[in-house]
Every structure is written in structure tokens, then in C-alpha cells.
Structure 1
Amino acid sequence: MINALGLLKRRRFLPLFVTQFLGAFNDNLFKTSMVLFATYAIFNDAGAEANFNALATGLAILPFFLLSALSGQLADSHDKAAIIRLVKTAEIGIMLVGSAGLLAAKIGHVHLGLGLMLFAVLLLGTHSTFFGPIKYAILPQHLPPGDVLGGTGLVEAGTYLAILLGTVAAGFLAKLPYWWTIGAVLGFAVIGWFAGRQVPPAPREGPPLTLNYNPFTSSWRLISATMHIPRLFLSICAISFFWTIATVLIIIFPPLVKNVLTADEQVASVAIAVFSVGVAIGSVVINTMLKGRISARYSPASVVAMGGFVALFSFLSRGWTAAPAGQLYGFASFVAQPGAIPVLLTLLAIAVTGGMFVVPLYAFLTTTVEKDQTARTVAANNVVNAGAMTIGSVAVLGITGLGVGPEDMLFLVAAMCLVSAWIARRLHAACDSETCASG
């Protein structure tokens, strides 16, 4: 196996990496800008803010639930690079819709603006549904087996670094005139379109498929064809629990920063950025520890550590000194607080251990099946993930309705980490790297 970073020099990897990086950056730039605008400029209630974030998260997840089966079939039966070009073209139109919503909201048509922005979030979810299986399934087709884990780690690291930059950019653009944000999301959509055109062909492998366009029967058949295999079943369950945990964190985090840490938009974006870069670090670290071998050896310990850091984060939040009534900490005043560095370091630790947990699990999905089935396997994972994330979103709505605050909800996240560790332990016991690699 070559050094994972050496893959960035390869013509068969770099364009894909850049394309997915720009897509994740732009997606997060837009969605974070929308959430920060709604949290800080429209709503003035922690419950309403959490409910809006849950609604936005649910809309982004819905296409994964309905369309993942179709996306997997298309990716396994057509040239994946051609689908990438179509998806990146659609992104430009989606950002036009989202920009129109932001413009409408800024000039006073709040309900129309929020409606258009939420519609854009739904379309971005559809965009990600069709791109998601490809960015993993194309790796075994373009890379030798010994480099697939490294490529998967770089894709994960790149995704979260893109989230980092998109989140930070959204926080700083929130302080500028709105047309800066509009120009940014449209500009990066166009750049991503050009990058997508450089991805080398990845034609269909295996026999032709007869597409099933019924989202319900196709999803059921897709899951049935995948989940009866023990190692895939356990991988998908573990990944689904991870993304349910991530969903809860994503929903509660902006209200927690505003109402518990009493900080402004820039602090919220920096804190989310710290989380994002932590997952990227974890993705690279686990690849180094495993030396390219595909194994869940470290996943149980990683997610147990993640749960411990989540519980610590809750305790640190409770001991936080709030800003004076009616005021929010800016970034400079936030980091000047005695508890700021422990809070940020704990958040970083949550993310690093999370990245170490999930990256090997994605590698299982793409290396333990035939190459002509990889996209459908990833799509089956996305369907189950979407269902689990939807349950997480609904649970947040219900628990918030009972008056539970975000710092208390972190204990639910910590408990879920223990369930993830149990599943990952079963996966490691069922399938070591050599057995799985031989598929």
C-alpha cells in the first residue's frame, strides 16, 4: 500500500476527491448559512430552533430513504462518471433555488424564503443520494485492493475537511452582505461541475440490470439482498447507529452553542468546524493504525471513547459561565473564557474517535462484495442509515417537547455509543480483515 496521501497524485483519484470535496463544502456552506440565519435572525426560542433544525435534517434525509435503491441500481448499471456529471449539473440549479430563498428571506419575505431554502435542502438531499453510492463504489474500480481503505479514509477526511471549511465560511459570511453567500454557493457549484467532468470513466461491470423504479419494493429487495450477509448486516447497523448519533448532535448543537454556551454564529461555526476536522484526523489515524488492512479491531474502543467524551462535553457545558443577559460571546471573548479550551478539545476528541470508528466500516461495504454490487451495497446502507437518522430526528423532536435541554440530550448520545460498540464488537468477532478481504 502506498502512503494514502500519495493517492492525491493519481489521475484516477484526484478528480473524484476534488469533486466530492467541493460538493460537501458547498452543501454545508448553504445548509449552515440557512441554519445560522434561522437560529440567530428569526427564532428566539431553543425549542423552535431545534424543531427547525430537525425539520431541515429530516428533509435532507428523506431522499436517501426513498431514492437510495434507485441510485444504487443506476450506479451499478451505468458509467459512474457520467452520473457524476449529471449530478453536478443539477447542483447549479439547486443552488439557484436556495439563493432565491435566501434573497427572499433577507428582504423580508421570511416564510417564502424559508420555504425555498428548505426545498433546496430537500433537493440537496436528492443530489447527495445519487452521488453518495458512487463516491465509495467507484474506489474499488479505480484503485487496487490495497489502496481502497486509504482511499476511503481520504474521501471521509476530505468530506469532513470540506464541512470544516464550509462551516467556517458560513459563519464569517453571516457577518457580510447576503450576496456574498449567494455568490459563493453558485460559484462553487460551477467549479464542482468542471471538476466532475475530469473523473475518469467507470463503466458498468457485470450483467445488465433491470431497474425497479418503485421506491418501496426496490428498497425492500435491496435491503433483503444485503442484510442477510452477517458482516454487511453488522457493518450497516453500526454505521446507522453512528449516523443517528451524528444526527442528534447536528440538531442540538446550534441551540446548545447559542443558549448554553451563549455564543454567536462565528463560535457555532468554529465549534462545528473543530468537530469536522476531528473526524478527518480520525479517518487518517485509523488508516495508519490498520496499515491498509480492513478490520473493525479498533472500532469498539473508539466509539466507547467517543461516548465518554460526549458525557464529558455535557458536564463541561453545565459548568459554563454564561454571557451577561441579552449578550452573546463573540469568538475572541469565547476563547478567553477559562472553559473554552477544554470544551473545544473535548469536541475534537469526540470527532477523532468517531472518525476512527466509522471509516473501516465503510471499507467493509466496498471490499466484501463483487465490484458490480458495490453501489447497491452502499445504497442499502444509505436506506437503513436514513431510517435510523429519521428516527433520531423524530426522537429529538419528542424529547425536546418534553422539556429536555441539549446538555441533557448528550447523555442519550453517550448511551447510543455503547450500543454501537456492542455491534462493532460483534462485527470484529464475525469477520477479521483477511476473511472479509477474500469476500
Structure 2
Amino acid sequence: MKNTMQDKEQGKNQFALLNTKRFGPFFWTQFFGAFNDNVFKNALLILLAYQSASMVDIDSNTLMNIAAGLFILPFFLFSATAGQIADKYEKSMLIRRIKFMEIIIMLCAAGAFYLKNIYMLLFLLFLMGTQSTFFGPLKYSIIPQHLKKDEIVGGNALVSMGTFISILLGTMAGGILIQHGDYAVGFIVCAIALAGWLVSIKIPKACSLSPEIKLDFNPFTQIWKTVGYARYLHSVFLSVLGISWFWFLGSAYLTQIPNFTKLVLKGNESVVTLLLTMFSIGIGAGSLFCEKLSGRKVELGLVPLGSIGLSIFGIDLFLAYDPPEIKTLMGISAFMQTPGSFRVLADLVLIGIFGGFYIVPLNAFIQTRTRAEYRARVIAANNILNSLFMVLSALTGIVLLGIMKIGIPKFFLVVAILNALVAVYIYTVVPEFTMRFLIWILTHTMYRVKHKGLENIPDEGPAVLVCNHVSFVDGLIIAGACRRPIRFVMFEPIYRLPILNFIFRTGKAIPITSQKTDPETFNKAFEMISQTLEEGELICIFPEGKLTTDGEIDIFKPGIERVIKQNPVQVVPLALRGLWGSFFSRKYGASMKKPFKRFCSKIELFAGEPVMPEAVTAGKLQKIVQELRGDRC
């Protein structure tokens, strides 16, 4: 009982998860791993950008993109195998073994830094990528095994935040250490690897969900099979593609920032560290904001918002800076005094913030929509495609910068425009993203929604929701507040409204009219309601059959009794409060005619205890909804 109460308290705040054994050790394990990756990688990138000319006869732009490709290549080659292993074996044991291999790799890296052997360092970068490849499916498949449904968004936000804070700290440490000698880099990467292994010992067991898997170590035959798991659900596969595109962008920025700083901003190594720091702070902040903005549920509406910001501020980064005519590279103080420097930093922070809005909901969506027994393989498929897109990003950089020599600012402009085109394509193919975005905008600008009792709506299985009908946007308010997708039954003239019709169609709303007016539509609606409930989904009905014209709840029609008689499922009563008199209500006659006056109005959505099917009557449900609504209409 004590543990249960503690869990409830901890569930109130995403940071409280860090104090739990089921999440804390895992968080710090992945934190130290990402930190070490970036100490090593950034020290190597700065070494390549500023010292490689005296060591090897290869252009630094080409070397930077080769390094980026080598780190990512293992994700493409070995992710399919990593996904199989993660689904087949107990996960905490695998994590500990992977972290031990990191210690061995970092001991070799210490020697390579001491010898200043560029080729050996590039090979070890490939091995670090391999180690991260096998950790990736474990990292995201273990989260749903240890966290509750309402903790998954918060857990993902913390992991994303922790990853990019570790990138920030690792980037800073790598940049500082490489300036102070190779001994320091070697010592630190070994110490971090050891710390990661020690904390991984405390990760609780996460049992195998598919122990019967027969491992196939041929990467080429398994890549296609693994990607096939992601294709089971079209929305999941397109989310994977969306994440992969994010890593195309992220890789483009992170890889080019060192040379962007040196060649365009005329800054030294400390300015590189500053820019990477601001970018990482932005992604960490955006990830943490996600839980607040999403209401602790998987909110796809944030994804279009994120992509819009990525393009706007990516284009502005191209416009932000006019390089000064100087021969010596500037430090942080001198750079900050040049025109446009603050704008560059603001663009990188905002790109990071909107990147967080984009990536966290997509990761959480994949975890919650994928079946547990092959979740790790779907995440492996995600890693395969991520790596492919990141390699494509490196190749794009080589072509545009090394061969076509368009310059880094124009390269940033190109990827920002490409992001806008990709976003338009994805949101056209999967209009659910656009629908959720419009709902999110509505419920976070025009209205401030407070809700109570929504835990009464079952997490799975069929149920019918009934609610009073106050305005044309009642369905959108309810859809924006609830965790599960809902199919709404609505009066056909409302269903046909311009703009709103797009949202209703995308949400698979069921239009209905009176039997007398259109018996075919009336009967078809009941057939669709029955089929939806048989498939285990949620249905929401407004039993009044029309919008209120006086603010009061009208008589509930007996159609709800017919629905429950045909499909005996529980009914959850809902009540909307505060929408009467809004722009979308009929308080002043026809709705949406008078100028919009109420902005950011406070409205409420209350849910009552479920009513079992044998107790359902229209009159009883009306009385419960009336009591839930109270005097505020």
C-alpha cells in the first residue's frame, strides 16, 4: 500500500520518476552513455576541424561528414539484430553487457587520442556507434515495461531532456578537454564509461516478451523483415519516417556547426561549444515543455507545431549573420559583440525547442501504438531508418558543401525548405496530425480547459461517452482532453460545417440525422456505432440530438438505449461547463456570426462514474449529466 501511494505521488510530476528504482537507474545509464558519446565525438570533430590538416591529407569538410557517417552506419547495419536480441532476452542484463563493452572501447580511445591516430579514432567512432545501436532498442522498449500509461510522455520527455543535456555537457566537455590535452579526454571517457556500467547494475529486470524468437544474424535479410514490423500500422510507420527526418535535420545542424562557426561566424573552439550548448538547451527545454503542453498524454498536435518552428527558424538562421572581415578567429566575448550573434543563438535555441515539440510525441506514439511483443523490433526499424536518413544527411552535406560548394548558410536554408515540403507531405498523407494540431490550437488559445474525473474513461475496451451539447466545438474539446481516440456521433449539418468537416472526417466522426429526414443515414449510423464498439473503440454521443438554444440541457433521446441494447457496454457521463455564450454557441442566435469576444475562456469538462449497461436509461443519464454540469452552463 505504501508503494502504491508513493507511485501516485510520483506520478504527479515527471521529475519524481527520477527517484524511482523503475526509472532512475535507467535514466542515469542512458545519460552517461549519451554524455560519453558526445565527449568522444565532439573532441574528435574539433580535432578534425582544427588540427586534421597537419595529420592527414583530406579536406576537413569531407572528414567531418565521413565521421558523421561512420558513427551512424552501424545503426543501419546492426539495428535489425539488436531489435531481435532486445525482444528475445531480459533487458537489464543486456544493458549491463553493452555498458561493459563501452569501457573496453573507451580504453582503446584513450590510447588513440594519445597517439593522435585519426584513422584509429574514426574506427573507434564506428564501434561507439555499434554499441549505441544495440542500446537503442533497449532504451525505448524498456520504458513502457516499467512506466504506467500516464507516465510514458513524461518518461520520454525526461529521456529526451537527459539525452540532450548530456549532449550539451558532453559537447562542452569534449570541446574543453581537447584544448587541454589528449590525456584529459582519454581519462574522462574511461571514467564515464565505468560510471555508466556501475549505475546500470541497479536497473530492475524487464522480462523477455518474445523468448521464442530465432535469431538471424544476417543484417541484410533482417533489415527488410524488421522494417516490416513498423509497417504493420500505417500511422506508426509514418511516425517512424517523421522521426527519421528529424534526425536528418539534427545531424545536418550538429555536423556542420563546427565548420559553420569557423568559416562563417569566424569563431574559435569555444564558440563551437557555445552554439552546440544553445542547440542542446533548446531541445532539452522543448522536450520538458511537451508534458505540460500535452496534458500528460500523447499529443500529436504538437508535431506540426514543431515542424513549423523548425522551418521558420532554420530559414532565419540563413539570414541571421553577416560575417565580419577579420583574419583571426574570435572567442565568445568578441563573437557576442558582433551584429547578429544573439539572433544566431536565439535561432539555435528555438530550433531545439521546436525540435523537442516534434520528436517527443512521435517517440511516445510509437511506444504506445505498437504491440509489446515486437516493440523493440519496431524501435530497431526506427533506428535503421534514422541511421539511413542520417547517412543521407552526411552524403547531402558532402555533395552540397564539398562538391557544389554552396556554403553552409545556404545548406541550412535548403534543409529548412526541405523540412517544410516533407511536413506538407506527411500531414497530407496522415491528416490525423493536422487534425490534432487544430484541436490543440483551439484548446490552448481560445479556451483554457480544466478537466476532472477523466480517469473514469477506460484505458482500453469499448465504452460510450454521453455529454451535453453546448457548441459546435464540443467534440473537439472532448477529443483534446481524452487520451484515447474517440469516434463522435454528430448531427449531420454540424458534420458538414466548413473547416470543422476536415477534423470530423479525419477523426472518423459518424454523421446522423433523424429517421424521418433520412432513414438511410440514420440506420447506417447505428450500424457504424455497433461495429465501432465491437472493435473495442470509444463512441461519444450527444443524446440531446441538437445544440442547446437556451443553455439548458434538453431531453435525452432514447437512441442511447438502442445503442446499449445492441452493444451492452458501460456508459461514462460527461458534462461541459462554460461554453454557453462562446463564439461557437447559440446564445445570441446563430453561432459564429458575431465577432469573437471571449479569448482564452476557462471551460471545464467533468466525467462521472461509469454506468453499467443494465442500468442505462436516457432519463438517468440526463440526470447524471445535469448534476455534473451544475449551475454553470
Calculate percent identity across the aligned residue pairs.
32
CA deviation map 1:297-332 (0-9, x unaligned):
121122111111011111113x2324x21x111122
CA deviation map 1:168-221 (0-9, x unaligned):
111221321221111111111111110111111111024521111110111111
* 1:244 matched residue in structure 2: 248
Matched, 1:311 2:315: yes
Would the alpha carbon gap of residues 78 and 271 (structure 1) be closer, same or farther in structure 2, given more than 3 Å must change? Answer: same
Amino acid at match of 1:101: A
* 2:324 matched residue in structure 1: 321
Farther off after superposition, 134-143 or 327-336: 327-336
* 2:228 matched residue in structure 1: 224
Q: How does 1:79-228 map to 2 (within 5 A)?
A: 79-105=90-116, 113-206=117-210, 208-228=212-232
Q: How does 1:25-424 map to 2 (within 5 A)?
A: 25-43=35-53, 48-105=59-116, 113-206=117-210, 208-317=212-321, 319-322=322-325, 324-325=326-327, 327-400=328-401, 401-422=403-424
Per the alignment, in what secondary structure is the counterpart of residue 179 of structure 2? coil
CA deviation map 1:112-135 (0-9, x unaligned):
x01111011100100110101111
Per the alignment, in what secondary structure is the counterpart of residue 485 of structure 2? helix
Cα distance in 2 between the residues matched to 1:438 and 1:346 = 43
- How far did 1:337 drift? 2.4
User: Which protein has the bigger strand share?
Assistant: 2
Q: Relative contact order, CA 8 A, sep 6+: which one is greater? A: 1
Per the alignment, in what secondary structure is the counterpart of residue 43 of structure 1? helix
- How far did 1:335 drift? 1.8
TM-score by length of 1: 0.93
Cα distance in 1 between the residues matched to 2:204 and 2:146 = 9
- How far did 1:392 drift? 1.5
2:45, 2:64 within 8 Å by CA — same for their partners in 1?
A: yes
* 1:435 matched residue in structure 2: 485
Cα distance in 2 between the residues matched to 1:336 and 1:243 = 32
1:243, 1:385 within 8 Å by CA — same for their partners in 2?
A: yes
Would the alpha carbon gap of residues 224 and 412 (structure 1) be closer, same or farther in structure 2, given more than 3 Å must change? Answer: same
- How far did 1:423 drift? 5.0
What is the alpha-carbon root mean square deviation over aligned residues? 2.0
Cα distance in 2 between the residues matched to 1:361 and 1:331 = 36
- How far did 1:242 drift? 0.9
* 2:18 matched residue in structure 1: 8
1:301, 1:421 within 8 Å by CA — same for their partners in 2?
A: no
1:299, 1:424 within 8 Å by CA — same for their partners in 2?
A: no
CA deviation map 1:195-254 (0-9, x unaligned):
111111111024521111110111111112322421111101111111111122122211
Cα distance in 2 between the residues matched to 1:43 and 1:250 = 21
Cα distance in 1 between the residues matched to 2:256 and 2:243 = 20
User: Which protein has the bigger helix share?
Assistant: 1
Cα distance in 2 between the residues matched to 1:175 and 1:225 = 46
CA deviation map 1:25-84 (0-9, x unaligned):
011001100110111122399x92221111011111111111101101111110110110
Cα distance in 2 between the residues matched to 1:48 and 1:287 = 44
2:286, 2:355 within 8 Å by CA — same for their partners in 1?
A: yes
| Length, aligned pairs only | 428
> Which runs of no fewer than 5 residues in structure 2 stay unpaired?
1-10, 437-482, 487-535, 539-633
- How far did 1:420 drift? 4.0
Cα distance in 2 between the residues matched to 1:250 and 1:43 = 21
- How far did 1:428 drift? 5.5
Matched, 1:17 2:67: no
Cα distance in 1 between the residues matched to 2:206 and 2:537 = 23
Amino acid at match of 1:70: T
Per the alignment, in what secondary structure is the counterpart of residue 138 of structure 1? helix
Cα distance in 2 between the residues matched to 1:303 and 1:141 = 30
CA deviation map 1:82-112 (0-9, x unaligned):
110011000011112222221111xxxxxxx
1:87, 1:131 within 8 Å by CA — same for their partners in 2?
A: yes
Amino acid at match of 1:159: T
1:303, 1:354 within 8 Å by CA — same for their partners in 2?
A: yes
TM-score by length of 2: 0.65
Cα distance in 1 between the residues matched to 2:294 and 2:277 = 26
**Rg larger for:** 2
Per the alignment, in what secondary structure is the counterpart of residue 33 of structure 1? helix
1:241, 1:416 within 8 Å by CA — same for their partners in 2?
A: no
Runs of 4 or more above 4 Å deviation: 430-433, 436-439
1:296, 1:427 within 8 Å by CA — same for their partners in 2?
A: no
Per the alignment, in what secondary structure is the counterpart of residue 59 of structure 2? helix
* 1:108 matched residue in structure 2: none
Amino acid at match of 1:279: I
Would the alpha carbon gap of residues 290 and 428 (structure 1) be closer, same or farther in structure 2, given more than 3 Å must change? Answer: farther
Cα distance in 1 between the residues matched to 2:95 and 2:426 = 32
Cα distance in 1 between the residues matched to 2:406 and 2:211 = 53
